[in-house]
C-alpha cells in the first residue's frame, strides 16, 4: 500500500510502537523512515493527538493498526491526515464469523462481571474480542509477569500480547517519549476468551485471577 501510494525515500511514516514489528518493517522496505507515536490507553491504537504531535515536514503517511478487536478512532486520525495532507492507511485484523464473535462477546461479558483485581477491557465501539486484554496494575512489569506465571501454574493459558514495543528493539531504538505504550507493554495480559471455552474453564480463569489479588498491591 505504501509503495503504490508513492511513499518512499525521504518520507516519514507515523506508526505505533505497541504491536508487531511488521508495520515498521514495511515502512523501511518502502524506503521510508518509521516515526513512532503513542497510543490511546483504552483502544491500544494510535492516539490522534500523539500523531498530530509527531508530524513533521517529511511526514507522508500514517498507518493505523486496529488492535485486539477494538478499532482505532479513525475519524479523528483522518482529520489529522486532512489537516497535514497525509495519507492515512488502515491495517485491519482478520474478521471472524458472526457466531464466533457473538460467543467471544458473551464470554467477555462474563469475565467483565466476575474478574476482580485486574482492569478489564473497555467494550465500546463494537469490540470483537480477538483478544481479551486486561491490565495488571501495580509496580510495573514484575507484577504482570508474576501474575502471568501464577495463572499458568494454575492451568490458565495466558500471554503477554506485546512483550517489547518496537521502539525498544535494537534496530528501531528511538529516544522518544511514549508513556502509554510503555505502560501498556508493562501491564497488559491476554486471557483466554475463544469460543471453544466451556463455562467451567471460564470459572477457572476467574477463580485463578481473583485468588491472586495480593500481587496487585503497590509497594511502599
**pLDDT band for position 142 (cuts 50, 70, 90):** low
Q: Which pLDDT does position 217 carry in this prediction?
A: 47
Q: Which pLDDT does position 77 carry in this prediction?
A: 98
Residues spanned by the domain of 75 = 12-91
Residues 87 and 62 in one domain: yes
Residues 57 and 103 in one domain: no
Residue range 90-114: mean pLDDT, rounded: 90
Residue 206 lies in a domain: yes
Residue range 153-168: mean pLDDT, rounded: 95
Question: Element (H or E) spanning 59, and its range?
Answer: strand 59-65
Measured on CA atoms in the order 46, 63, 19, 69, is the torsion positive or negative? positive
| Weakest mean pLDDT among 29-43, 68-82, 122-136 | 122-136
pLDDT at 220 over 50: no
Question: What sections of the chain are H helices per DSSP?
Answer: 22-29, 48-54, 74-84, 98-114, 141-153, 179-187, 199-210
CA distance 63 to 87: 8
Q: Which pLDDT does position 58 carry in this prediction?
A: 96
**pLDDT band for position 5 (cuts 50, 70, 90):** confident
Residues 118 and 198 in one domain: yes
Q: Which pLDDT does position 216 carry in this prediction?
A: 46
Determine what percent of the chain is predicted with pLDDT higher than 70.
93
Q: Which pLDDT does position 95 carry in this prediction?
A: 79
CA neighbours within 13 Å on the CB side: how many for 65?
A: 20
Q: Which pLDDT does position 123 carry in this prediction?
A: 85
Residues 87 and 106 in one domain: no
Residue range 82-111: mean pLDDT, rounded: 91
CATH number at residue 149: 3.90.1150.10
Residues 59 and 86 in one domain: yes
Residue 7 lies in a domain: no
Measured CA to CA in angstroms, residue 90 lies from 21, 93, 130 at distances of 16, 10, 17
| Weakest mean pLDDT among 27-36, 93-102, 121-130, 134-143 | 134-143
Residues 61 and 132 in one domain: no
Number of domains in the chain: 2
CA distance 22 to 110: 33
- Domain boundary among the residues 91, 107, 129 is at 91
Residue range 36-53: mean pLDDT, rounded: 97
Higher confidence at residue 140 or residue 207?
Answer: 207
Residues 60 and 162 in one domain: no
pLDDT at 75 over 90: yes
pLDDT at 141 over 70: no
What are the backbone angles phi and psi of residue 189, rounded to the nearest 5°?
Answer: -150, 130
Amino acid at each position: 500500500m505504501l509503495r503504490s501510494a508513492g511513499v518512499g525515500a525521504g518520507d516519514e511514516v507515523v506508526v505505533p510502537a505497541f504491536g508487531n514489528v511488521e508495520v515498521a518493517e514495511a515502512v523501511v522496505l518502502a524506503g521510508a523512515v518509521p516515526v513512532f507515536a503513542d497510543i490511546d490507553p483504552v483502544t491500544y491504537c494510535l492516539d490522534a493527538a500523539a500523531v498530530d504531535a509527531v508530524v513533521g515536514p517529511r511526514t507522508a503517511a500514517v498507518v493505523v493498526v486496529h488492535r485486539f478487536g477494538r478499532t482505532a478512532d479513525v475519524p479523528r486520525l483522518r482529520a489529522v491526515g486532512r489537516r497535514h495532507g497525509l495519507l492515512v492507511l488502515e491495517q485491519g485484523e482478520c474478521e471472524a464469523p458472526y457466531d464466533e464473535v457473538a460467543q467471544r462477546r458473551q464470554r467477555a461479558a462474563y469475565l467483565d462481571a466476575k474478574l476482580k483485581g485486574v482492569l478489564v477491557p473497555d467494550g465500546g465501539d463494537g469490540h470483537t474480542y480477538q483478544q481479551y486484554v486486561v491490565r495488571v496494575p501495580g509496580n510495573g512489569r514484575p507484577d504482570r509477569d508474576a501474575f502471568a506465571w501464577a495463572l499458568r501454574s494454575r492451568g490458565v493459558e495466558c500471554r503477554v500480547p506485546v512483550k517489547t514495543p518496537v521502539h525498544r528493539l535494537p534496530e528501531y531504538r528511538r529516544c522518544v517519549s511514549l508513556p502509554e505504550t510503555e505502560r501498556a507493554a508493562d501491564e497488559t495480559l491476554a486471557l483466554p476468551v475463544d469460543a471453544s471455552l466451556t463455562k467451567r474453564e471460564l470459572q477457572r480463569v476467574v477463580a485463578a485471577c481473583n485468588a491472586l489479588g495480593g500481587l496487585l498491591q503497590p509497594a511502599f
